A = this chain, B = another copy of it.
């Protein structure tokens, strides 16, 4: 352990306190979810009486969301989006999971673009040595003939996922990583991505976001290891360095490259940020976004009632 300049405090002590804050925040999120759930249901009952409510909220969304909605996406949403809802699915029905795991559900009417009436994207909060945050799985969309707004990207991602190959890298010996050759599906996805014009990818490509490949088991093991180390430190005991951590220190300089490789086959690299923007901003503040839009351009002919 290294102490901070001119003091006896170590980085690890600061990190351990941050971890304790994180645990309190998680507990608060759990309570907040319980306390506000009836109110979200009441809101949903009310706004379901307002035609196009959710499509209009999406129109009024903050830039982090709005920048991902292309003109055609907007037309689809305005013609057929019925509702958006957010569930913290790991803590529903008394579940003891992570309240930061979220499911974002979109409901649609019959439309010209796809067959699905419901598209739900789930994000799991996971821990690994080099990433902690939301990960996901691709959600397929049943496009109607010639109407695929992602031009095959989403289908290609789903094929790669269904192969179950995981990241393209495997470890070969101490501290070295080697690129595995791409599978046929991976190669097809890569070529599809390279053939797309830059920018302007459909909002619906977000359903293909995967993020870091961390299984529930890996995540659990990592979190337990972290907690155990924090416990040892709090008791003033030495924390064992496992082989992997030593390797990491050796290869620390190459770390950025590795991260880029993982992102290679990601069709919507900011997918986790977009999810957070929906969950933490659009969803709780939907009424406010709706109001700003309405007040900015009120209908001159809106009827007056008591």
A: residues with CB less than 8 A from B are: 1-11, 13-14, 17-18, 20-21, 24, 27-28, 31-32, 35-36, 39, 42-43, 46-47, 49-51, 238, 284, 287-288, 290-291, 294, 299, 302-306
Other A-B pairs beyond A2-B304, A24-B35, A31-B31, 8, CB < 8 Å = A7-B49, A7-B50, A8-B305, A14-B46, A14-B287, A14-B290, A17-B39, A24-B39
Question: Residues of B contacting A49 with CB < 8 Å?
Answer: 7-9
Q: Which 6 A-B pairs have the closest CB atoms?
A: A5-B299, A7-B50, A28-B32, A6-B51, A24-B36, A9-B49
Query: A4 to B294, Cβ gap below 8 A?
Result: yes
Query: A18 to B302, Cβ gap below 8 A?
Result: no
Query: A4 to B288, Cβ gap below 8 A?
Result: no
If A21-B36, A36-B24, A42-B17 touch, does A4 touch B305 (CB 8 Å cutoff)?
no
Q: How far is the CA of A272 from the CA of B160 in the complex (A)?
A: 51
Question: Residues of B contacting A13 with CB < 8 Å?
Answer: 46
Q: Which of A13, A14, A36, A303 gathers most chain B CB within 10 Å? A: A14
A120 CB to nearest chain B CB (Å): 24
Question: Residues of B contacting A299 with CB < 8 Å?
Answer: 5
A241 CB to nearest chain B CB (Å): 13
Question: Residues of B contacting A3 with CB < 8 Å?
Answer: 302-305
Q: How far is the CA of A289 from the CA of B70 in the complex (A)?
A: 36
Query: B27 to A39, Cβ gap below 8 A?
Result: no
Nearest B residue to A4 via CB reads B50
If A14-B46, A24-B36, A284-B21 touch, does A51 touch B7 (CB 8 Å cutoff)?
yes
Q: How far is the CA of A305 from the CA of B31 in the complex (A)?
A: 41
A281 CB to nearest chain B CB (Å): 14
Q: How far is the CA of A291 from the CA of B4 in the complex (A)?
A: 10
Q: Which of A4, A18, A32, A238 gathers most chain B CB within 10 Å? A: A4
Q: Which residue in B291, B302, B304, B305 is a CB contact (below 8 Å) of A5? A: B302
Q: How far is the CA of A36 from the CA of B31 in the complex (A)?
A: 14
Question: Residues of B contacting A51 with CB < 8 Å?
Answer: 6-7
Query: B27 to A43, Cβ gap below 8 A?
Result: no
Q: How far is the CA of A85 from the CA of B284 in the complex (A)?
A: 29
Question: Residues of B contacting A31 with CB < 8 Å?
Answer: 28, 31
Question: Residues of B contacting A6 with CB < 8 Å?
Answer: 50-51
Q: Which residue in B17, B18, B39, B46 is a CB contact (below 8 Å) of A21? A: B39
Q: How far is the CA of A291 from the CA of B284 in the complex (A)?
A: 31
A23 CB to nearest chain B CB (Å): 9
A168 CB to nearest chain B CB (Å): 29
Question: Residues of B contacting A24 with CB < 8 Å?
Answer: 32, 35-36, 39
